[in-house]
Every structure is written in C-alpha cells, then in structure tokens.
Amino acid sequence: MNNTKYYVAPLLLLSLTGQVWAAETESDENWVDSSHKTVRQYLKAWSNDIDSWFGDTDPNNPSSATLRLMLDNRWNRYDGYSIKPRVRGKIKLPTLKRRWSLVFGDESIDNTMDDSVNPERKDPLQTKKLDRKSSRNDNASVALRFSKELKNWGGIDTDLDLGIRHGADIFLRAKVGKDWNWTETLSSRLEQIYRYGINSKHFLRSNFDVKHHESAQISNISSLFLEYTHDNDEETYWGNSIYRQHRFSGNRELNYGIFTGGPIIHKKADLTVYGPFISWRQPIYKQWVFLKPEAQYYNDRKAERTHFVNLFLRLEAVF
C-alpha cells in the first residue's frame, strides 16, 4: 500500500490541471486541432465512400461517422499495472433509409448501458502490462447494424447486428431496450442483449437502470446487470452499482457509490465483491479529449483478497 500514493498523485494532478485546460478559450488552430480536423475529414470521406456501396448518395443527406479512442489503465497491488487500448466507431448509411449503420471496434463497449458512467467493474486485469494480441482481437470486430424503433410495441428500440469478431467469430447480435418515465423525477430503462457466435457461442446480458432525478444536475441511480456466457463452460455473473451522480458545467461529472456483485452458481447468487467507488470525468485541453479517473475499494472473496485499492484511468478522444 506504500506505493499507492505514487499512483493517486498523478490522477489528482491530471484532474486539477484538466480543469484549467478545459476552461481556457481555444485560440488559433494548432497541430492538435489540425489533426482532429483531418481525422474528421477522413471519417466523413470514408463514410460517404462506404455509403455509396449501397446506392446513389444524396448530397443533401450525407453519411456521417463517429469514432472513440480509449486507453484504459488499471492498477492494484496484487495484479500490478495493465493498459488496454479500445476503439469503437459507427458509420451511418443514409442510402439505406438511416436504419442501417456499420459499427466496428470493441463491441463489448455496447454491453453497458452508459459506458461513461458505469464501466465494467468486474473485469479482471490483464496478466500482461500490454497484451497486444488480446487488444487486437478485442478491437477486431465489424458488423452491419439494423436499427428500428417499434412504436406499436410501446416504443421499444432494437438493434440487430451481423458481423465478425476476433478475426474468425461470425456472430449475430440482438439488442432491445425500453425507457419508462414514471414521474417527472423517476425513470427506468431495461435492455436485453443476446449474441451467438460460431466460436464464442452464447452471450446474454440484461441491464436495468432506475434513476431518481433530484434536479437537473443531481441524480441517484441504481444500475443492475446480469451476464451469462456459455462457451466450453457456463458462467453467470451479477452486479449492482448504487451511486450518486453530479453533473457540472463543461461536461464534468462526479459519481460515487457502492458496487456489489458475484457469480451465480446453481441458481444461487453469491456475493464475492463489494465496496465503494468514486469517479470523475471531464474534458482536458480540448473539448473532445476526456479524462476519467476512478478509485475503487473492493474485496474479492473468491481470490481470498480483503478490501484493497483499485485504480482506473481512462483517456478518451472523440472524433
């Protein structure tokens, strides 16, 4: 635990200096702005080229693309330090009536209901500082997505993906979700995700969020998930984050609460991980570059670990 301060101090320093950078007025365009603009131009040209594969394009209704680049850093005293690059992009295809899009990159990012608020807190650390093979496989996913809102079914939104992941795993993925606004201050959302891959077999996940909005800036949230995988072995895991969220000007956000979770064995839910967490997210330097540090104080009964500090830091660029 003596080395923890060497990891906490840089996170605090980055967070404080990030507030100053984000508050500065952007002046003349520099190489960072120029690079961002160039990437955006390439994405636009690329999306229009892909859109033209499916029919005649309409200059008044052009295609568009979004891209997220993430660098996830993790540390604890048991597993050490690891870093994982992640990519997720989406290209809209208006020639196909805007119901179709092309998605690529790490498809597990779409499994969480709100990735910026609720990152996967049960993910094990990588055994290597940077596992290039694992990172390459996780980001090697591309799929054609059909999206439609079923208004006759009470406003259920649906996504249906057909694609390939990890280089050889052809998969079909379905996602359905529905929002409920119970009162002016109380809302909830339920999502169901099912994926079947030729190699990865069955994956099923349910997400259920309940939000109580105290004001426009403060919310109390309960985020529950249930995840089932069946490849060679069957595994079921559950987790619940109960936290308070504060939203500030300048796209800054503070979350703090308690996470509980564990495996489900023989239809019995076990509690093996629990403890508090706190996270902060804000733009740094530019409004499209984000910093998200998170500190967790969980135990792990399965690994016979009492409560210990986990540190997480995400650097993200949005194009």
- Whichever domain contains 99, its CATH number is 2.40.160.40
Beta carbons within 8 Å of 235's beta carbon, 6+ residues apart: 228, 229, 263
> Tokens at residue 30, please?
């520099």
Sign of the dihedral defined by the CA atoms of residues 28, 29, 31, 33, in that order: positive
| Interstrand relation of 156-165 and 305-318 (parallel, antiparallel or unpaired) | unpaired
pLDDT digits (tens), the chain, 319 positions: 444 444 444 444 444 444 444 444 444 567 777 777 787 777 777 777 777 777 777 777 778 888 999 999 999 999 899 999 999 999 888 877 778 899 999 988 888 866 544 444 454 444 457 667 777 888 889 999 999 888 777 789 999 999 999 888 999 999 999 999 999 999 999 999 999 999 999 999 999 999 999 999 999 999 999 999 998 788 999 999 999 999 999 999 999 999 999 999 988 999 999 999 999 999 998 889 999 999 999 999 988 999 999 999 999 999 9
pLDDT at position 10: 43
The count of structural domains within the chain is: 1
pLDDT at position 46: 73
Pairwise CA distance, residues 175 & 160, whole Å = 6
**H-helix or E-strand spanning residue 15:** helix 4-23
Pairwise CA distance, residues 263 & 226, whole Å = 10
Pairwise CA distance, residues 129 & 82, whole Å = 4
pLDDT at position 114: 63
Pairwise CA distance, residues 106 & 214, whole Å = 34
**Residue 316 near residue 292 (C-beta atoms within 8 A):** yes
pTM of the model: 0.81
**Residue 259 near residue 271 (C-beta atoms within 8 A):** no
Instruction: Please give the residue range of the domain that contains residue 49.
Output: 4-318
| AA identity, residue 239 | G
Burial of residue 163 (number of CB atoms within 10 Å: 0-12, 13-18, 19+): buried
- Cα torsion for 210, 88, 231, 76, to the nearest 10°? -70
**Residue 209 near residue 243 (C-beta atoms within 8 A):** no
pLDDT at position 28: 52
List the beta strands (DSSP E) in the chain: 64-76, 80-93, 100-105, 141-150, 156-165, 169-181, 186-197, 201-213, 218-230, 234-248, 252-265, 268-269, 273-284, 286-300, 305-318
| Interstrand relation of 286-300 and 273-284 (parallel, antiparallel or unpaired) | antiparallel
Pairwise CA distance, residues 79 & 3, whole Å = 14
